[in-house]
Structure 1
Amino acid sequence: MPFTVWNGPAPTTAALASVTTGTAIKTMLQLATPSTTQIRIIEWGFSLDDPPGADGVIELLQTDVAATVTQHVAATGVVNLDPNGPTTLLTMGTSATGYTATAEGAIAATRPFDAVSLSSVSQESGLTYTKTFMPNAMPIVAVSRFLRVRATTPTTAADMRCFVTFEQVG
């Protein structure tokens, strides 16, 4: 059963808001797997409202340490694409599933799944990116780990929306 989650609360009376990347590495979206369930990444992507001030990078990776984030709400922030499906099993909390990190934590180990270079001079390319993983190449995030979408825009912040579509693997 697939779920989609964005780097902000689910839209209601207003559109999904973009979030500033800041000028240092910043976790824009984090998903925390529980001790009983892995997740398989189906697709991920992002869009920027403007190019960054200097070349940057957006990463999709698994880490062993949580960032401190704004907590998502399982029932509304992590959208089950099946209207009759259950709520996600992801772990919720400010050191779990959420968005817009205020502290990155001391990461000791990562498993990178994708990375995208951003150009500071081109507004034609690099502002929107989506990757759909082939069925035999879908990354699996281990139990008790964190999937992060991280942005590094070193000199000037950019406003970003990002998402991950995943399925839970028992």
Structure 2
Amino acid sequence: MARRRYKVYNAATAALTAAPAAVTTGTSLKTMLQIKPTTNIAVIAWGYSFDVVPTALVKVELITTGTVAATVTAFAAGDVVKYDDAGTAASAISLGTSASGFTSTAEGTITATREIFFRNEFGQSYESQEPLDREGGVIANDILRIRATTAVAIGMTCWVLYEE
């Protein structure tokens, strides 16, 4: 069976009539997007953009935090975009405020992280597509996060394209 690909944004996208709205980073570390897979996944591509060019350094991370989740706005099933084939099965990620979603209100008590990617950023946008069979992997029930840290609040849109 072919692997299936899905894309999520740090926004509710199931019933959009316009582009997703950017989410404020706040003025300290904040999880902007979180995925909790129930099966192993591979990060095919990911990226982010800011509403304006940052005036202060923004640190952006793609990390796993073991089983420690942030408290987030949960994705609805329709927010998980079926990337390859609209008729394919739903994604196997867990949905819920302590599972997959965006815009954290509490980071949780993280004891260990695995840094997949890190950038100190003054640019307005970034995208990364991973080479075939060289993708960053996330094991079932680990938490994948895009986190941003900045001293100045800025609107951010981010996304992850993953394969199950």
For normalisation by structure 2, the TM-score amounts to: 0.93
Q: Which residue of 1 aligns with 2:73?
A: 70
Once the two structures are TM-superposed, the CA of residue 50 in structure 1 deviates from its matched residue by: 1.6
Q: Distance in 2 between matches of 1:78 and 1:103?
A: 22
Aligned counterparts, 1:144-159, within 5 A: 144-154=141-151, 156-159=152-155
Do residues 134 (structure 1) and 138 (structure 2) align?
no
Output the aligned Cα RMSD.
1.0
Residue 8 of structure 1: aligned partner: 11
Question: Where does structure 1 differ by over 3 angstroms across 4 or more consecutive aligned residues?
Answer: none
1:56 to 55, 58, 70: 58
Aligned residues: 158
Name the residue aligned to 1:108: 111
Paired residue secondary structure (1:83) = coil
- Whether 1:164 aligns to 2:160 is yes
Identity across matched positions, percent: 42
What's the offset of the Cα at 1:93? 0.5
In structure 1, runs of 5+ residues without a counterpart are 120-125
Deviation at 1:2, TM superposition (A): 0.7
Tell me the equivalent position of 2:37: 33
1:86-116 per-position Cα deviation (integer Å, ceiling 9, x unaligned): 1111001000000000000111111111111
TM-score normalised by length of structure 1: 0.90
One of 14, 23, 26 as aligned partner of 2:27: 23
Judge conservation of contact 1:2–1:166 (CA < 8 Å) in 2. Answer: yes
Q: Is residue 2:145 matched to residue 1:143?
A: no
Contact 1:53–1:157 (CA under 8 A) maintained in structure 2: no
